[in-house]
Amino acid sequence: MNRQPHPSPLSPVELVDEYFIENRNRIVEVAAFLDRLDRADASIARTDYRVRALADAIGVLSSTSPRRVQDIQLLLSDPTTEPRPALDRKGAVGAWARPEGGR
Amino acid sequence: MRYIDHHAHMASRTTDDYAQMALTGCVAVTEPAFWAGWDRSSPEGFDDYFRQLMEFEPKRAAAAGMQHYTWLGMNPKESDNREMSIEVLRRIPALLPGPTVLGIGEIGLNRVTTNEITTYTEQVALAAEHGQLVLIHTPHLEDKLKGTRITLDVLRQFPALPAGHVLVDHAEEHTVEAILDGGFWAGLTLYPQTKVSAPRAVDMIEKYGPERLLVAGACDWGPSEPLAVPKFIAEMRRRRHSEALIHRVVFENPVQFLGQSPKFRLPAGVTAAAATQAG
């Protein structure tokens, strides 16, 4: 398709000026959540697939990929292609539970 | 700025929400049929729900000075129930001529089961047979990628249904390209936690341009915001985008997509007045 990107007229510094504080807040919130889990039971970081997925996503944040958001969305997605044979539950939970032994 | 919210579950909302939307510039909403948060116990429950969408909500909207249109279909969350789905689909053709019914929606997949795919495929066939516009829900969170791929695969089985007549909604960064590349419209629904935030929606406008992209608030019974579109407008202005670009996304694009139905007509004067906001 013929895409016509419309970049923001804001300069890079203006983007940082505008968005730094709210993103500083977000990363502090994530850190506080992980500390909270550690206080409750540090082993949950290894045993809960959602927390493991979050840790993998944090790794993507540190990368230089120009498409971090897509990379994280894919990391959290069910990569399989076959339909479920039957309904297991009504709702999604936000991360894909890999089969035992998979990464 | 005047805007249209193409995906607004007003049956879940108060009269005050209608008033707030009108005060912030909303001139029309379109309401897809969806899940009530609990499963209906009989097909007759859908009769009452469809009557609410076709008769009652337009009156509430009119009282606020807005237009209300609707979409009818078997929602994804209940579509795994084949017996119920067959009964609901049997009712829909007789309702399609309704003066405010724009097409079939919101249909699609939830947990991507074989039953859901069968019900969804039957509804796409119904839309193609009756020449209807289609509004499609894509699954939530970890199910979205797989569900969107299968959703698009099914659509390609119906060449009689023009891609430009189909809106694939709840698009996110990992699905929007495939939707647009297929020639379909992509909807960005703005939610406080799930799906897309206003800043990320603006990111996608910046990256892909405004062609065939729509934004909506969804404003359903869960955490959601009836004023999500005006907050998106504020975010576009925060990035210093032009009023013309904002107007295109929140007004011209929905008019272009929804206007493919002869039933979608804004009152005389609204379009002209809205055009002045583009600068």
Residue with tokens 């993507």: A60
pLDDT, tens digit, 9 for 90 and up, residues A42-88: 999 899 999 999 999 999 999 999 999 999 999 999 999 999 999 99
Helices (H) and strands (E) in chain A, counts: 4, 0
pLDDT band at A101 (very low <50, low <70, confident <90, very high): low
Is pLDDT at A100 greater than 90 in this prediction?
no
- pLDDT for the residue A1: 59
Q: Do A78 and B181 touch (CB under 8 A)?
A: no
Q: Is A39 on the interface with B (CB under 8 A)?
A: no
- pLDDT for the residue B277: 77
Q: How far apart are CA A66 and CA A60, in angstroms?
A: 11
Q: Do B183 and A1 touch (CB under 8 A)?
A: yes
Strands B67-72 and B26-32 turn out to be: parallel
Which residues does chain B have within 8 Å of residue A83's beta carbon, measured at their own beta carbons?
Answer: 112-114, 116-117, 150
- pLDDT for the residue A30: 97
- pLDDT for the residue B274: 82
Which DSSP letter does residue B110 get? S
- pLDDT for the residue B161: 98
Find out whether B132 and B262 touch, Cβ atoms under 8 Å.
no
Residue with tokens 């997605």: A77
Q: Which helix (H) or strand (E) holds B79?
A: none
Spans in chain B with pLDDT lower than 70: 279
- Using CB atoms within 10 A of its CB, is residue B267 exposed (0-12), middle (13-18) or buried (19+)? exposed
- pLDDT for the residue B276: 83
Q: How far apart are CA B6 and CA B247, in angstroms?
A: 15
- pLDDT for the residue B272: 82
- pLDDT for the residue B271: 85
Nearest-CA distance from A91 to chain B in Å? Answer: 7
pTM of the complete model: 0.96
Strands (DSSP E) found in B77-139: 101-108, 133-137
Residue with tokens 């609707």: B70
Is pLDDT at A103 greater than 70 in this prediction?
no
Q: How far apart are CA A71 and CA A59, in angstroms?
A: 11
pLDDT band at A102 (very low <50, low <70, confident <90, very high): low
Q: Do B240 and A3 touch (CB under 8 A)?
A: no
In chain B, which residues touch A (CB < 8 A)? 77, 80, 110-117, 139-146, 149-150, 172-174, 180-181, 183, 199-200, 202-203, 205-211, 238-241, 245
Which residues does chain A have within 8 Å of residue B110's beta carbon, measured at their own beta carbons?
Answer: 90
ipTM rounded to 2 decimals: 0.94
Domains in chain B with CATH codes: 3-278 (3.20.20.140)
pLDDT, tens digit, 9 for 90 and up, residues B168-184: 999 999 999 999 999 99
Query: What is the b/e burial string over A41-65, where b = at least 16 CB atoms within 10 angstroms of the residue's CB?
Result: eeeeeeeeeebbbbeebeebeeeee
Nearest Cα to Cα of residue B207 among B254, B158, B173, B257:
B173
Which residues does chain A have within 8 Å of residue B117's beta carbon, measured at their own beta carbons?
Answer: 83
Tokens (6 digits) for A16: 């940082």
Is pLDDT at A92 greater than 90 in this prediction?
yes
- Point out the residue among B113, B140, B208 whose CB comes nearest to the CB of A83: B113
- pLDDT for the residue B194: 86
